[in-house]
């Protein structure tokens, strides 16, 4: 039945694809994940800060510090 999946597989499979990132302090960002490391530090390209499902601020390329990440999910849009 194949090998057991590991949590970082999701990061690897999401490279160069759009993701949603839930962060501490109630922040949410959306963008294309172009890099990550073992601390979950990630770079989003075309990053946008989302508030109530609306774009509050466009940041462009952005480094997010891993210890502020709550969840990361591939985005459908």
Interaction between residue 9 and a copy of itself (CB under 8 A): yes
Please report whether residue 63 would count as binding a copy of itself according to CB under 8 A: yes
| Cα–Cα distance measured from residue 34 to residue 7, given in angstroms and rounded to the nearest whole number | 18
17 makes contact with a copy of itself (CB under 8 A): no
x/- mask, a copy of itself, residues 18-57, rule CB under 8 A, reads: --x-xxxxxx-x----xxxx--xxxx---x----------
Q: Residues near 46 by Cβ (< 8 Å), separated by ≥ 6?
A: 31, 32, 58, 60, 61
List residues near a copy of itself by CB under 8 A. Answer: 4-11, 15, 20, 22-27, 29, 34-37, 40-43, 47, 59-74, 76
């Amino acid at each position: 039945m194949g090998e057991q999946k590991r949590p970082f597989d999701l990061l690897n499979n999401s490279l160069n694809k759009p993701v949603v990132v839930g962060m501490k302090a109630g922040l949410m960002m959306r963008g294309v994940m172009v890099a990550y490391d073992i601390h979950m530090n990630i770079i989003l390209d075309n990053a946008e800060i989302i508030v109530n499902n609306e774009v509050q601020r466009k940041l462009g390329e952005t480094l997010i510090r891993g210890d502020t990440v709550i969840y990361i999910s591939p985005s459908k849009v």
